A and B are shown apart, each in its own frame.
Chain A
Amino acid sequence: MLGDLWKLFLENKKALAGLLILLFFVGVALFAPWIAPYDPRGNKLVDQEVLEESRGRKQTVERTQLDEFTEERIYDQTFTTRTKETTVKFPLKSPPTSKHLLGTTHSGQDIFSQVVWGTRVSLSVGLVTGLFTTLVALTLALSAGYFGGRVDEVISLFTNVFLVIPSLPLMIVIAAYITVRGVVPIILILGLTSWPWPTRLLRSQVLSLKNRDFVRVAASLGEKPGFIIFREILPNMISLVMASFFQSTMAAIIGEATLEFIGLGNVSVVSWGTLLYWAQTNGALLSGAWWWFLPPGICIALIGTSFALMNFAIDEISNPKLRKR
C-alpha cells in the first residue's frame, strides 16, 4: 500500500522535482557548517600566524637544599610568541564578489553564509510546525469523523469558526503579547493558528472512509475502535495526511518569515525571516542592495514550490481526473 504510493509518487515528474528541491535544502541545512564559508554573524576574518617563539632567561627566585641529594629551585621564565595577525574586515553592503557570493550586509556580514545557516532555522521551524499542526489536525479529524455526534459537532463548529477568523492578525496580536522572543513561541503560535484547514480536509476524508464497506465489515466483526482507526482508516488516508503536512509546512515557513519580518521573532537568530527583517530595517531596498533581500525570498519560494509540486502530484495520483490524458 505505502510502497505502491511511494512508487507512483516517484514516477510523477512533479513529485520528483519537488522532492529533489526539498532534499537539496535539507542537505544545505545539515551541512551548513561545511558549506558556509564564514561565521554568519561575524564581519571580519582574523588570521593568526606564529612567526617566532622564544624563551627568556631563567631567573632564580629561591633555592633550597632539602637534603643531601634533593635540591628545589623556584625560577621565573618568560615565553614570548611573535604572532602575525591579519584582520580582513568585510566590505560593508558590498554587491556579490568572488569572496562574498551574495554580497554583505550593512555591517559586513556575509549574506551567503547567513542564507546557508538560515536554511537550518527556517526549514526546521517549518518541518516541526508542519508536523505539530498535522498531528493536531489528524487527532481532531479522526475523533470528529470516527466518533461523530456531539464530538463531531463541537470540533466542526470550532474548525469552521477558526477558518473564518483571519489568522495573520491573530498571530500578530498573540506574538505581540508574548515577551519571550524566540523560535519556540513562533512554532506554538503558528501551530495554534493553522490547524483548521487540515482538520477540515482530513475530517471529510475520515467521514467518507468510515462509510466504506471494509470499515463497516471491520466494525461488524467487532474490531476495537483503535484498530479500525489506525489499521483501517488511517492507512487509507496517508496521501491526504502527507498533503496536509506539506501544506502546513509551507504555510509555517512563510508564516515564520512573516512574523520575523515584522520584527516579532528573535532578531538575533539567523533565519530567512530575520535576514529580510534586517534588510528592510536597513533600507536595502531603496539603496539598491538587491543581493540582500532577493536570496532569502527565492529560497522560501523554492521550498514553497517544492511542497506545492509534491502536493500537486499527490492530487493527481489520488484524483485521476486531474491527470493529463
Chain B
Amino acid sequence: MKYLFRKLSLLAFALFVAVTLNFFIPRMMPGDPATELVDKMQGIPPEALESIKVAFGLKTDDPMIVQYFKYLGNIFKGDLGISLSRFPTPVSTVLALAIPWTLGLIGLSTVLSFFIGTVVGIAVAWNRNKRAASWTVGVFIFIRSFPYFWLGLLLIYLLGFRFEVFPVGGSFSPYVQRPSWDFFVSVLYHGFLPALTIVVSSMGTWILTMRNNMINVLAEDYITVALAKGLSLKRIKTLYAAKNAILPSITGFAMSLGFVVGGGLLTEMVFGYPGVGLMLFQAVQAKDYPLMQAIFLFISTAVLAANFLADLAVLVLDPRARDGGR
C-alpha cells in the first residue's frame, strides 16, 4: 500500500503542478499578449472579450493569489471558461465532443502498440543472434526517428491518395445512419490509418525496451540453471524470462505515455481526426486560449490517470511492490 500511496501522491502533485502551470503561463509571458489580443479583437461580442480577460487575468484588480484561488475553485466546478472560436459555448462542452474520439483512437492504439511491441521485443531478444531479429530492430529504430506526423503524411499519401484504400480524413462516413453496424464499421475504417500511424511509430520504443530488459534477464544465473535443468525452452522464455522482463517495461510504458500521447495528438491533426489533438490545433489557429488551456489540462489529467493504471498493473504483477516497495 505504501507503494500505491507514494505513486498516488506523486501523481496528485503532478496534477497540481499542471494546473498551476496552466494558470501562470499566460501571466508570465514576456510582452503583453493579452492586451495585444484584446486590442485586435475589436468588434467581438463583449462576453467573449470578458472571457479572454478572465483567461489572462486582465479583468480583475484582485492580487495574483486571489485570482489563483478563484481559478482553482472554477476548475473544481468544471468551469473552464468560454470558447472564443465557438462562442458562446462553454469550453467544457466543446471539449466533451472531442474526448470520446481521442480516448478511442489514442487509448486503443497505444495499448495495442504496447502489446505488439512487447511480444515482438521478446521474440527479438530470444532470437537475438539471428539476422531477421537485428533487421527488425534496425527497421524500427529507423521508423522511430520519423517525426510522428510525417509517418502519418506518408500513409495518407500512399494508402489514402495514391492507392485510395483508406479515407484521407474524418472519423466516419457522413452517409451512414448512426448508430448502426455500418456506422461502427465506418468508424473502424476511418480510424485504421491514424491507428496504424500511432502503432507503427510508437512500437519501436516498446520493442527496444523489452528487448534490452529481456537480454539482461536472459544473462541471469537462474536462466542458465533453468536451461541446465532441461526445462522446455518455451517455458523458460515466457515464465522465466519474459515475466520478469516485463515489469520495468510497464514502468517505462507509464513514463513514456506523455510522449506517445503527444504523438497521437499530432496524428489526429494530420488526419483531421476530430479528437482533442485536432481541437488543440484548431484552438491554436483561432487563438482560442481558454480552449487551448482546457485541452492541456485534460490531456495532463488523462495521462496521469493512465499512469495510475499502469502503476496498479505493476502492483498486481510485482510482489515486491506489493510488499511495500523497495
Is the C-beta of A266 less than 8 angstroms from some C-beta in chain B? no
Q: Flag if B150 contacts A325 (CB, 8 Å).
A: no
B-chain residues with CB within 8 Å of residue A315 when the two chains form the complex: 212
Q: How many residues of A contact B (CB 8 A)?
A: 55
Residue of A170, A250, A263 touching B145 (CB-CB under 8 A):
A250
Q: Flag if A297 contacts B146 (CB, 8 Å).
A: yes
Q: Flag if A164 contacts B215 (CB, 8 Å).
A: no
Residue of A167, A179, A297 touching B147 (CB-CB under 8 A):
A297
Q: Flag if B284 contacts A321 (CB, 8 Å).
A: no
A-chain residues with CB within 8 Å of residue B292 when the two chains form the complex: 172-173, 176
Task: For the complex, give the distance between the alpha carbons of A285 and B148 in Å.
Answer: 16
Q: Flag if A180 contacts B299 (CB, 8 Å).
A: no
Main secondary structure of the interface of A (DSSP, over half): helix
A-chain residues with CB within 8 Å of residue B31 when the two chains form the complex: 179-180
- Chain A 293-325 interface mask (CB, 8 Å, partner B; 1/0): 110110011111101110010010001011011
Q: Flag if A168 contacts B265 (CB, 8 Å).
A: yes
Is the C-beta of B228 less than 8 angstroms from some C-beta in chain A? no
CB distance from B37 to the nearest CB of A (A): 9
B-chain residues with CB within 8 Å of residue A165 when the two chains form the complex: 14, 17-18, 21, 258, 300, 303-304
- Which parts of B148-176 form the interface with A (CB within 8 Å)? 148-150, 153-154, 156-157, 161-162, 168
- Chain B 279-299 interface mask (CB, 8 Å, partner A; 1/0): 011001101010011011001
Is the C-beta of A288 less than 8 angstroms from some C-beta in chain B? yes
Q: Flag if B150 contacts A176 (CB, 8 Å).
A: no
Q: Flag if A179 contacts B284 (CB, 8 Å).
A: no
Name the CB-closest residue of A to B129: A324
Name the CB-closest residue of A to B281: A262
Q: Flag if B219 contacts A161 (CB, 8 Å).
A: no
Name the CB-closest residue of A to B302: A166
CB distance from B290 to the nearest CB of A (A): 11
Name the CB-closest residue of B to A293: B153
Is the C-beta of A261 less than 8 angstroms from some C-beta in chain B? yes
B-chain residues with CB within 8 Å of residue A312 when the two chains form the complex: 141
Task: For the complex, give the distance between the alpha carbons of A321 and B144 in Å.
Answer: 23
Known: A164-B11, A165-B17. A173 touches B25 (CB 8 A): yes
Task: For the complex, give the distance between the alpha carbons of A250 and B162 in Å.
Answer: 31
Task: For the complex, give the distance between the alpha carbons of A167 and B254 in Å.
Answer: 14
B-chain residues with CB within 8 Å of residue A157 when the two chains form the complex: 10, 13
Residue of B14, B144, B216 touching A164 (CB-CB under 8 A):
B14
Residue of B257, B259, B284 touching A176 (CB-CB under 8 A):
B284
Task: For the complex, give the distance between the alpha carbons of A153 and B257 in Å.
Answer: 23
Q: Flag if B284 contacts A172 (CB, 8 Å).
A: yes
CB distance from A185 to the nearest CB of B (A): 9
Residue of A163, A257, A288 touching B161 (CB-CB under 8 A):
A288
A-chain residues with CB within 8 Å of residue B144 when the two chains form the complex: 304, 308
Residue of A166, A300, A324 touching B303 (CB-CB under 8 A):
A166
A-chain residues with CB within 8 Å of residue B150 when the two chains form the complex: 257, 276, 293, 296-297, 300-301
B-chain residues with CB within 8 Å of residue A297 when the two chains form the complex: 146-147, 150, 153-154
A-chain residues with CB within 8 Å of residue B145 when the two chains form the complex: 250, 254, 300-305, 307-308
CB distance from A122 to the nearest CB of B (A): 11
B-chain residues with CB within 8 Å of residue A257 when the two chains form the complex: 147, 150
Is the C-beta of A2 less than 8 angstroms from some C-beta in chain B? no
Name the CB-closest residue of B to A254: B147
B-chain residues with CB within 8 Å of residue A158 when the two chains form the complex: 17
- Chain A 258-289 interface mask (CB, 8 Å, partner B; 1/0): 10011110000000000010001000011010
CB distance from A212 to the nearest CB of B (A): 20
Name the CB-closest residue of B to A320: B219
- Not counting A164-B303, A257-B150, A300-B145, a sample of 6 additional A-B residue pairs whose C-beta atoms are within 8 angstroms of each other reads A164-B304, A170-B21, A177-B26, A263-B284, A285-B161, A309-B141
Residue pairs across A and B with Cβ atoms less than 8 A apart, 22 shown, are A157-B10, A160-B14, A164-B307, A165-B14, A165-B303, A166-B259, A166-B262, A168-B259, A168-B263, A172-B284, A180-B30, A261-B147, A263-B285, A280-B153, A286-B161, A293-B150, A297-B154, A301-B145, A305-B145, A312-B141, A315-B212, A321-B216
* Pairs A-B, 6 closest by C-beta atoms: A304-B145, A168-B262, A166-B258, A297-B150, A161-B14, A169-B296
Chain B: residues with CB nearer than 8 A to chain A? 10-11, 13-14, 17-18, 21-22, 25-26, 29-31, 33, 36, 128-129, 141-142, 144-150, 153-154, 156-157, 161-162, 168, 212, 215-216, 219, 254-255, 257-259, 261-263, 265-266, 269, 280-281, 284-285, 287, 289, 292-293, 295-296, 299-300, 303-304, 307
